[in-house]
Amino acid sequence: MLNYFFSYIDDMPMEFRNTLFSAQHLLTISMVICLWVVLTLIFKDKSREEKWRFIVRISLLLPLLEVAQIIWYKSIGQFSVGYTLPLHLCSLMCVILPIMAFSRNVLLMEYSYAMGLAPAMMTLLTPDVYYYPSFSFIYLQTMLVHGIICFIPIFMIFGMDFKPNFRNLPKVIGMLVGLSILITPVNYITNGNYFFLKYPATGSPMELFAEFVGSPWYLIPTLLLGCVLWSVLYLPFVLENRAKKRKQQVLREYEVIEQHKEKLLI
């Protein structure tokens, strides 16, 4: 197995190949989730500055892992400007997250939650390199990168009390649309498929949509699926905010009643 750690899939024996939701795949996902929990518990009680320094350090792993992936593609003779440039949705997160960590920009924090968590989680569940054995460079690199992309917003929520705001979602979607517009001519020039704007990712729900509606119309149900995922992601915070407002309203009403009682006693 070690002899094939850096190998391309075509150079590996069939018996080493993986499948979606295999024992190897599920074990890898379980290990990633355990790592999220352990790191969150370790840093949860640290000072806010220490937490931000931790986010900076872990976010800087992302561009390093992305560069390592490009070097790997070059070394096996599979580098392609139409596929291996860091211009995919999650690849761009490898640039956006370090910028967010250094700048502490609220919009980028919101983007990391809305546009980073769901796509990266989906990639963990259905990675486009799922056929590689779990103990191979590209499989581990893919799971590690997307694990970090998921972990940063999760840590900000459970370790730093970050509260995603549904009202910021239109700005985040606008940012995504703007990036998609910029990526479109790149796809045309490189004959690439960045942001999966030309055809769906292998093994993803987009592939199923494409079977029914074709390309590029699969983007419409993909967007609808995104809306469902955003609703799920933001619903707990919307409900929490409403409950908080309701509690504040009840307290104000109670204070008014108490003040009125005091006046009657006087």
> What is the chain written as a DSSP string?
-GGGTT--GGGS-GGG---TT-HHHHHHHHHHHHHHHHHHHHHTTS-HHHHHHHHHHHHHHHHHHHHHHHHHHHHTT---TTTSSS-SHHHHHHHHHHHHHHH--HHHHHHIIIIIIHHHHHHHHS-TTTTS-SSSHHHHHHHHHHHHHHHHHHHHHHHH-----GGGHHHHHHHHHHHHHHHHHHHHHHT--GGG-SSPPTTSHHHHHHHHH-TTTTHHHHHHHHHHHHHHHHHHHHHHHHHHHHHHHHHHHHHHHHHHHHHHH-
Residue 255 pLDDT grade (very low, low, confident, very high; cuts 50, 70, 90): confident
The pLDDT value given to residue 204: 73
Torsion of CA 141, 92, 10, 144, to 10 degrees: 10
Q: Which residue has the tokens 């968590």?
A: 117
Q: Which residue has the tokens 């931000």?
A: 52
The pLDDT value given to residue 1: 61
Percentage of the chain lying above the pLDDT 90 cut: 53
Residue 227 pLDDT grade (very low, low, confident, very high; cuts 50, 70, 90): confident
Mean pLDDT of 181-203: 89
Is the pTM for the entire model greater than 0.85?
Answer: yes
Higher-confidence position of 264 and 101: 101
The pLDDT value given to residue 265: 60
Residue spans of the domains in the chain: they are 2-195
pLDDT score of 152 more than 90: yes
Residue 223 pLDDT grade (very low, low, confident, very high; cuts 50, 70, 90): confident
The pLDDT value given to residue 262: 66
Q: What is the chain's mean pLDDT, rounded?
A: 89
Tokens (6 digits) for 119: 């796509």
Residue 72 pLDDT grade (very low, low, confident, very high; cuts 50, 70, 90): very high
How far apart (Å, rounded) are the C-alpha atoms in residues 84 and 144? 17
The pLDDT value given to residue 264: 63
129-140 pLDDT tens trace = 888 988 899 999
- Least confident residue range of 55-64, 68-77, 99-108, 257-266: 257-266
Percentage of the chain lying above the pLDDT 70 cut: 96
The pLDDT value given to residue 41: 94
92-125 pLDDT tens trace = 999 999 999 999 999 999 999 999 998 898 889 8
pLDDT score of 5 more than 80: yes
